[in-house]
Structure 1
Amino acid sequence: MTETAPSRTTSRRGAHEGRGEAWKPFAAPVFRALWIAQFVSNIGTWMSTVAAQWELVGRSPVLVSLVQTSASLPLLLLAFPAGVLADQLDRRRLLITAQYAMLGCSAVLAGLAFADVLQPASLLTLLFLTGCGSALMGPAWQAIQPELVDRPSLPQAAALGAVSMNLARAVGPALGGLLLSLTGTGWVFTINALSYLGTVAVLAAWHRPPGPRETPSGDQRLLTALDAGRRYVWHSPDIRGVLWRCLLFVPAASALWALLPLVASRSLGLGASGYGLLLGAVGAGAVVGAVLLPSMRRVWGAGRSLAFAGLAAASVLTLLTLTRTVWAAVLLLPAAGLAWILVVSLLSATMQTRLPAWVRARGLAVYLVVFQGGMALAAPVWGLLADRWGLAPALLTSSVALLLGAASVRWWPLPGGSADTNPSSHWPEPVSVLDPQPHGGPVLVTVEYRVATGDIDRFIAAMTAVARSRRRTGAVTWGLYRDSSDPERLIEHYVVVTWNDHLAQHRDRLTADDRRAEQVARALLKEGTKPTVAHAFDAMTAT
C-alpha cells in the first residue's frame, strides 16, 4: 500500500499539469487576442454557413453539401500561390488584406439577401469568393503560430485553434438559427461581415518584425518558389507522413459535417436551432479534447491517439444511423468533436514543428490543400451517396473508411521524435572568381570525400540523409560516385537552378538537422582529410 501512494500523487500532479498545459498558449498576449478575435469571426462564419445550408436544405442534398465545397475548394486553387506570398511578403499585411476581402464578399451577400434576390447560384458563388479570401489567409495564419507561442506550446496552440472553430460551430449555428427565426438571412450575413473587423484590429496593432525572406535578395519568381516548396515536401518523409495520415482521416470524417444537417432535418426532424444544438454537442467534445490532449499525447503517444480518434469517429457515425432521438444524438456527438480536435491538433503541430521558417507557409499550404481539399472533394460524394443510397448507407460507408484508417496507424504512423528546424549557417560563403548573376545558373556543386574502404558502406548509407537535405534545400539532381581508379575517393555532385538558390542554401535554408546529417557522414572520412567543394557554371550559357 505504501508503494502505490506516490503513483497516485504523481498521477494527480501529472493530470493537474496537463490541465495547466492545456491553456498555456493564452499566456502569450498576441495569441490570446487573435484567438478571441478569430473566435468571434468563426462564430460569424458558422452563422453564415448555417443560414446558407438551411436555405438549401429543401432543395437537394447535393446543394447542401456544395456549401461546404464552395467554402473549401478555393484552397485547391490558391493555397500554393498564397504560400509563396506568405513566405515572401509581410504575413501580417497579407492577413489584413484577406480579412478585408472576406468582409467585402459577406457585405455583398448581405445586400443581395436584403434585396430578396439571393439565388443558389449567387449564394454559392459568393461563398466561393469568401473561400478565396480564406485560402489567401490560410498558409500565413498557420505560419505565424510559431511566432506567437514557444515551440513546446505549438501542439496546444493548434488544439486551441481547433477549439475556436468547434466552439464557433456550437455557438454560431445556434445564434444563426435564432437570428434567422427573428430577422432573416440578411442580418446573419451582415453580422458575419462585421465579425472580420476584430481580427483586422488585432493584426493592425501587432508590431511584427519583418519575417525572413526565402532568398538573400528577398526576390524569387513565383514558379521557382512553388517548385522549391514542392521539392521540400517531396523530399521530406516526415511531411509526407503527415499528409498521408491526413488523407486517411479527413475525407472520411468530413461526412459528419456534410451530412449532419440531413441527420438533423431527416432523422431527427429538427429545425435550425436543433441543428445548432447538435453542433453544440460537437463543440463541447472539442473543448474536452483540448483539455485532455496534453495528457493523451503523454500517455498514449501520437499513434494511439490517432487510432482512438478514428475509432471514436467511426463509432459515432455508425450509431447515428440508429439514433432517432435528439438527446441520444447529443450524447454521441461530443466523441466526434473530441476525435476531430485530436487529429487536427496533432497533424497541424507536426507540420509546424517540422517546417523551417523559409518554406513554412508553402509546406503548410500543401497541408491545407490536402486537408481542406479532402473535405471539399469528399463532401459532394457523401451528398450523392445520401441522395442515391440513403443517409444511413452513406454514414456507414464513411465509418468503414475511418476504421480502415485507424487500423493503418500501425503500419503508417505519424512521425515521432523531435525535429530541429532552427537555421544553421554552417557552410562558409562560396568563393567565385566569376561574377554570377543572382538568377544565373544552373550551378553544379561537387564535393570530394576520402573514405577508408571498410567505412564505404556506412558512408553511403549516411549520405542518404544528406541527399534528402540537398534536394529539400534546392538541388534538382543529386548523385554520389566512386572513383574506379581510386576506390577511397567518392564524389558527390548536385545541381541547383540558380546562384541565388545556392546562396540561400549557405545562408538560411539549412537547419540543425541538416547539419547533424552532414556530421554523421563526415565522421566516417579518413582521418586528417576534409571534403573539397567546387562550384561550376554551364560554360555554354551566360551566368
Structure 2
Amino acid sequence: MFSSLRIRNYRLFAGGQMVSNTGTWMQRIAQDWLVLTLTGSSAAVGITTALQFLPMLLLGLYGGVIADRLPKRRLLLVTQSAMGLTGLALAGLTLSGHVQVWHVYLMALLLGLATVVDNPARQAFVAEMVGPRDLRNAVSLNSANFQSARLIGPAVAGVLISAVGSGWAFLANGLSFLAPIAALLLMRRDDLHEVEPTPRGKGQLRDGLRHVAGRPELLWPIVLVGFIGTFGFNFPIWLTAFVDEVFHGDAGTYGLLNTLMAAGSLAGALLAARRGTSRLRLLVGAALLFGLLEITAAAAPVFWLFALLLVPIGMFGMTINVTANSTVQLAADPAMRGRVMSLYMMVFMGGTPLGAPLVGWITDAYGARTGFLAGGLISAGAALAVGLMLARIGGLRLKVDLRRGRPRVAFVERAPRKKQKQLAAMV
C-alpha cells in the first residue's frame, strides 16, 4: 500500500504536499463560507468556483505544452510560490476588514491561472520521482494524501472561522506553501527519472490531441471524468445549500460534512493503493454507483442519513479519480504526458466553470435537493453511456447466465480484432 514512500524524493514531495493540501482545504472552506456570508447566494459560491477553474478550461492545454517543454521541478517552484502568494493576499484583505466579494473572485481567478501550469506539471512529475513501476501506487497515495488533508483542513477551518474569522485560514494556507517549496529544493536530482523536455515546435498541442483521439483507453476515461467533474463534483454548492437551507446549520456543520466525505475519499484512495492494477470496468462501475448514491442522498429526509451517505460518495468519487488518473498516465506516451494530463485536468476541473453556475442556478431556483439530484442523474447516465461505448469498441458483449447455482453477469469477447483485444484486456 505504501511502496512509493521508500523513494526519498517522493517522501519529501508527499510530506510537503500534506502540509500544503491541509492549507488548501482550509482556504476552500473559508472561501466558500465567506462568499456565502457576504452575498447569501449559492450562485455566488458557484461563480467563485467557476472563476477558479475557468483558466483551466480556456488555457489548460497550453499549460500541458509548457509542462512538457520545461523542467518540471523548476516549474513547480514557480507555480507553488505564486499559489502561496494568493492565499497571503486574501488573508491581508480579510484580516484588515477590507475584503469584498470581488476580491475573492479575483484571487480565485489568479489561483486558477497558476493551477493551469501547476496541475499538469505536478501530475507528470510524479512519474519522474517514482518511475513507471510505482506510478499507480504513487498516484493513489497522492490522492490519499489529499484526502487526509481534507479530513484535517475542514475541521480546523471550521474552528478558526467560528472563533476568529476566515482571514486566519487564508493566512495558514499561504504559509503552508513553504513546505512543498522546501521539499522541491531538497530533492536529489540524480534520483529523478527525468523525461527530456520537448523542444519548442509547431503543432505540439495538436499532436497531444491526436494522441488522445486515437487511443480509446485515453479518450473515454477523459470523457467520463469530464461529465462527472462538470456536473457531479459541485459539492461546495450543494453542501453549503443543504447546511443553510435544509438543515439550518453553521460553518461547523459544513466542515463536518466535508470531513465525512473526506473520510470516504481517503478510504477509496487507500483501497486503490492496494490494487496492483485498475480496469476500466472498475472506473465505469464506480461512476455509476457514485451517481446513484448522489440521487439517494438528494432525497435523504434527515441530517444523519445525508451525512452518512457522503462517506460512500467520497469513496466512489475517489475511486473514479485515482483509476482514471493512473490509467491515463500509464497509457500516455511519456513525451506527451504533460499534454495528456493537461487535457485530463482541463475536462475534469475545467468543466466546473460550465457546470457550477448552472448547478448553482438550479440549486437557488429549485432547491438543494433538486440540484444534487440533477448531478447524480447526469453522472449515472454518463457512466452507462461510456461503459456501453467501451464494450462496443473492445468487441465485448454482455453475457447473462442464470443457471441454478451459478448466476453470472459478465462481459465476454466476441472474436475481437487485435486492437479490440488490447482494449478488452483493459476493460
Q: TM-score, normalised by structure 1?
A: 0.68
Tell me which of 348, 354, 359 is aligned to 2:336. 359
Tell me which of 272, 285, 288 is aligned to 1:311. 288
Tell me which of 29, 36, 43 is aligned to 1:62. 43
Pairs within 5 Å for 1:279-298: 279-293=258-272
For the residues of structure 1 that align with 2:234 and 2:76, how far apart are their CA atoms?
Answer: 30
Does 376-385 or 254-263 show the bigger shift?
254-263
Partner of 2:376: 399
1:31-70 CA-to-partner distances (Å, cap 9, x unmatched) read 2221221121111111111111112224211101122222
1:226-245 CA-to-partner distances (Å, cap 9, x unmatched) read 23323323333332122222
For the residues of structure 2 that align with 1:295 and 1:139, how far apart are their CA atoms?
Answer: 25
Distance 1:162 1:413, change over 3 A: farther
For the residues of structure 2 that align with 1:328 and 1:102, how far apart are their CA atoms?
Answer: 37
Letter in 2 for 1:379: A
1:444-478 CA-to-partner distances (Å, cap 9, x unmatched) read xxxxxxxxxxxxxxxxx99x99xxxxxxxxxxxxx
State whether residues 173 and 272 of structure 1, in contact with CA within 8 Å, keep that contact through their aligned partners in structure 2.
no
Partner of 1:378: 355
Measure how far apart 1:198 and its partner are: 0.3
Partner of 2:225: 246
For the residues of structure 2 that align with 1:362 and 1:397, how far apart are their CA atoms?
Answer: 31
Q: Secondary structure at the match of 2:60?
A: helix
Partner of 1:273: 252
Letter in 2 for 1:117: H
State whether residues 363 and 370 of structure 2, in contact with CA within 8 Å, keep that contact through their aligned partners in structure 1.
yes
State whether residues 308 and 339 of structure 1, in contact with CA within 8 Å, keep that contact through their aligned partners in structure 2.
no
Measure how far apart 1:281 and its partner are: 0.9
Letter in 2 for 1:220: R
Q: Secondary structure at the match of 2:390?
A: coil
Query: Is 1:87 matched with 2:68?
Result: yes
For the residues of structure 2 that align with 1:312 and 1:235, how far apart are their CA atoms?
Answer: 29
Partner of 1:31: 10
1:384-430 CA-to-partner distances (Å, cap 9, x unmatched) read 111112221221122211221232243133999xxxxxxxxxxxxxx
Distance 1:57 1:324, change over 3 A: farther
1:211-261 CA-to-partner distances (Å, cap 9, x unmatched) read 44455xxx414x533233233233333321222222343223213343112
Partner of 1:170: 151
Q: Which runs of 5+ in 2 are unaligned?
A: 395-416, 423-427
Query: Is 1:220 matched with 2:200?
Result: yes
Tell me which of 10, 24, 27 is aligned to 1:48. 27
State whether residues 128 and 195 of structure 2, in contact with CA within 8 Å, keep that contact through their aligned partners in structure 1.
no
Distance 1:317 1:237, change over 3 A: closer
For the residues of structure 2 that align with 1:265 and 1:317, how far apart are their CA atoms?
Answer: 19
Partner of 1:105: 86
Q: TM-score, normalised by structure 2?
A: 0.85
Distance 1:213 1:286, change over 3 A: same
State whether residues 317 and 399 of structure 1, in contact with CA within 8 Å, keep that contact through their aligned partners in structure 2.
yes
Once the two structures are aligned, what percentage of the paired residues are identical?
28
State whether residues 297 and 305 of structure 1, in contact with CA within 8 Å, keep that contact through their aligned partners in structure 2.
no
For the residues of structure 2 that align with 1:178 and 1:133, how far apart are their CA atoms?
Answer: 29
Q: Secondary structure at the match of 1:57?
A: helix
Bigger helix fraction:
2
Measure how far apart 1:294 and its partner are: 5.6
1:288-313 CA-to-partner distances (Å, cap 9, x unmatched) read 21233366776xx6244223322332
Q: Secondary structure at the match of 2:177?
A: helix
Tell me which of 321, 329, 335 is aligned to 2:306. 329
Pairs within 5 Å for 1:336-347: 336-347=313-324
For the residues of structure 1 that align with 2:93 and 2:273, how far apart are their CA atoms?
Answer: 46
Tell me which of 161, 164, 180 is aligned to 2:161. 180
State whether residues 57 and 351 of structure 2, in contact with CA within 8 Å, keep that contact through their aligned partners in structure 1.
no
Does 369-378 or 241-250 show the bigger shift?
241-250
Partner of 2:116: 135
Query: Is 1:203 matched with 2:164?
Result: no
For the residues of structure 1 that align with 2:284 and 2:219, how far apart are their CA atoms?
Answer: 18
Letter in 1 for 2:360: G
Distance 1:256 1:312, change over 3 A: farther
For the residues of structure 2 that align with 1:295 and 1:91, how far apart are their CA atoms?
Answer: 28
Bigger Rg, structure 1 or 2: 1
State whether residues 36 and 42 of structure 2, in contact with CA within 8 Å, keep that contact through their aligned partners in structure 1.
yes
Measure how far apart 1:277 and its partner are: 1.0
For the residues of structure 2 that align with 1:257 and 1:153, how far apart are their CA atoms?
Answer: 33
Distance 1:76 1:403, change over 3 A: closer
Partner of 2:106: 125
Q: Which of structures 1 and 2 has the larger relative contact order (alpha carbons within 8 angstroms, sep 6+)?
A: 2
Q: Secondary structure at the match of 1:73?
A: helix
Aligned length: 394
For the residues of structure 1 that align with 2:51 and 2:22, how far apart are their CA atoms?
Answer: 18
State whether residues 141 and 273 of structure 2, in contact with CA within 8 Å, keep that contact through their aligned partners in structure 1.
no
State whether residues 318 and 399 of structure 1, in contact with CA within 8 Å, keep that contact through their aligned partners in structure 2.
yes
Tell me which of 188, 192, 198 is aligned to 2:173. 192
The two structures, once aligned, show a CA RMSD in angstroms of 2.5
